[in-house]
Amino acid sequence: MNGRTLTPLTTRATRLSGLLAILGAFLLDQATKLWALAALGRGEVFAVLPVFNLRLSFNEGISFSLFTETFTGRPLMLAGITLLMTALLGLLLVRSTTRLEAVALGLIIGGALGNVLDRLRIGAVVDFLDFHVWGFHWPAFNLADSAIVIGAMALVASTFIGNRPGQISEETSP
């Protein structure tokens, strides 16, 4: 096989890519949520495009407001579950062998940490992006949610890309 061997330098660069993705996703998410909290009133709708509004809402459940009844009034429970899963993803990040995998995991972790901070700070996740078409509204979301979805898609893509000749891999290291 034509793969390069893993060196401490390539491993560090891969991990650094993941850490930068965590930081970028987290900071961008928090900055936009702070803006939304300052600029938007709860329930107000600001039409930006015919299919896109800014609308401040708060999610006490998980994605798409699922299990809201279960977690309403229990932000610490959901934050704890999320932190546990994030720690497990952090272990995968430390073991990642490709930059795409590390960045994907970093986006997921950064987005999850952004939503955890909301739960700890205000008891719910701040959502404000509202896409709609023909009267159907996609559940409101935020940039943390976007980072999680993009990270998950990139993680799936990284498994399909696999180890190609010339790609860094544990299998090709001595």
* Catalytic (active-site) positions: 127, 145
Q: Which residues contact 73 (CB under 8 A, 6 or more apart)?
A: 60
Report the amino acid identity of residue 140: A
- Name the DSSP letter for residue 124: S
Q: Nearest CA to 112 among 61, 71, 148, 74?
A: 148
Q: Quick one: tokens of 34?
A: 């702070």
The sign of the torsion formed by the CA atoms of 65, 69, 70, 74 equals positive
Q: Which residues contact 108 (CB under 8 A, 6 or more apart)?
A: 89, 147, 148, 151, 152, 155
Instruction: Give the C-alpha separation, 54 to 36, whole Å.
Output: 8
Q: Nearest CA to 93 among 81, 108, 83?
A: 108
